[in-house]
Structure 1
């Protein structure tokens, strides 16, 4: 895709040798693990098409080319990218409806207040309706998205795969009752396209991991390819 991912896999894998690699958030977890600047192998065109058939969508172009040229998961923003695995041949399709960010505003409109109702029965009836609708909204907020990574504290990164915001990254912050909101980079405005999000992380990870005393990173090794 116009060379946007040229050399990116090699740059990520080179960070395994960087002196400050453990200073990059998410590379190593205090609980053990972390992405360690590893990447899964890339997917084939046939595997990407199998994913698309299962979701009844065409994946966003930047993410699609990432899967084909960089990897199917691994090192990335926060605690890394979740693996994307092609479905088995007998897996039934599970079409994704469009993403509807306006549902967050409805969820945040607030629960009924007792003082707004003449009696307890009217309040309870209204509350039950609101509670049922809130459950529906929580379930529907992530329609049309792929959960592509964990931010920590039950926050997640979502990629829109269906709807007007196709290809942009959003934050799932339902854990604190704030629904799904646009991800914003410092000094910028959101929503943020997938490639900008990932390459912004890589730029800052390289600055953090390769301190000035250590000099520039070495040239990628030939064995650091996509195999």
Structure 2
């Protein structure tokens, strides 16, 4: 059994444990997904999305969607279905998804502000320029879920940090890198945290 398969098996076993631990859905966002997962997405649909946007989904995320579930239970309000929420970061998905991600875990606020400056310093920016700039800011990021209040969990699709989950928001704050190396690590960490809690 390969490492990903073993991790997927652990996740399958832990989802019902998380549901049993938080049976009254007291954890933030859990009432929206109730620890339920959608049916896995077909391989043909995964390939269709990849071909449409000129991308290759990181393997841990791809395996989750194709073998565990096409969205549902997950951190905060859960995991998006395949293709959901693509316009949360930019209106030009066909361009920004396949572009190189500019983010890194040690990016400074000053470096980030260099990317956001064309918007921050121009209240009359055109729609076209706004879309271009946001596309550059969030290039290579796939929204995979929401924390509410326009806060997005996003997956890096390319580059040296491919597969990492970052948190962005509509206020254009410096994106936050989650510590886990892959989508599955991030998801399993969430399950472990839920299972370890005591809900009264």
TM class by smaller structure: 0.7 to 0.9
Matched, 1:193 2:182: yes
Hey, what does 1:138 align to over in structure 2? 134
Hey, what does 1:216 align to over in structure 2? none
Match of 2:25, SS state, is: helix
Please report the RMSD computed on the Cα atoms of aligned residues, expressed in angstroms.
3.3
Hey, what does 1:31 align to over in structure 2? none
Map Cα deviations across residues 145-195 of structure 1 (whole Å, 9 max, x no partner): 11111012111111011233211111112x22315x1323xxxxx474212
Structure 1's 35 and 128: CA in aligned 2 closer, same or farther, altered over 3 A? closer
Alpha-carbon deviation of 1:17?
A: 3.9
Matched, 1:72 2:80: no
Matched, 1:42 2:29: no
Uncovered stretches (5+) of structure 2, i.e. residues with no partner = 85-92
For 1:195 and 1:20, how far apart are their aligned partners in 2? 23
Hey, what does 2:159 align to over in structure 1? 163
Structure 1's 71 and 209: CA in aligned 2 closer, same or farther, altered over 3 A? farther
Out of 168, 174, 177, the position equivalent to 1:172 is 168
Rg larger in structure: 1
Structure 1's 137 and 111: CA in aligned 2 closer, same or farther, altered over 3 A? closer
Structure 1's 19 and 197: CA in aligned 2 closer, same or farther, altered over 3 A? closer
Structure 1's 131 and 35: CA in aligned 2 closer, same or farther, altered over 3 A? same
Structure 1's 176 and 128: CA in aligned 2 closer, same or farther, altered over 3 A? closer
Corresponding pairs, count? 179
Match of 1:148, SS state, is: strand
Matched, 1:106 2:144: no
Hey, what does 2:94 align to over in structure 1? 94
Match of 1:23, SS state, is: coil
More helix by share: 2
The structure 1 segments of at least 4 consecutive aligned residues displaced by more than 3 Å after TM superposition are 13-21, 107-112, 127-134
Uncovered stretches (5+) of structure 1, i.e. residues with no partner = 29-33, 87-92, 113-126, 185-189, 212-227
Alpha-carbon deviation of 1:11?
A: 2.5
